[in-house]
Copies of this chain bind each other. A is one copy, B any other.
């Protein structure tokens, strides 16, 4: 297991309800891939969303995001944190 930060671009104008709905859709099926999405942060103006997760691999994170209809544009393994 490792930590991952994934980034979604092009989400301009995303609302609180849409972010909550997308996050809950991920949470509902995350166990299929052994993933846990911890937090998500959004900047609706630039359309950027960051998700922090614990997962066995970047591919596992992406499979969940793909199944819920919002594939990530970048997935970064986080190996350092302060």
CA distance A42 to B16 in the complex (A): 27
* Residues of chain B with a CB closer than 8 A to A79's CB: 42-45
Q: Complex: how many Å from CA A79 to CA B45?
A: 9
Q: Does A78 contact B (CB under 8 A)?
A: yes
When all copies of this chain in the complex are counted, the total is 2
Q: Which residue of B lies closest to A26 (CB)?
A: B82
Bin the interface of chain A by size. Answer: 20 to 34
On chain B, the residues within 8 Å of A3 by CB distance are 41
Give A8-43 interface residues, CB cut-off 8 Å to B.
14-16, 19-20, 23, 39-43
The one of B5, B15, B43, B50 that contacts A77, using a Cβ cutoff of 8 Å: B43
* Complex Cα–Cα for A39 and B45 (A): 22
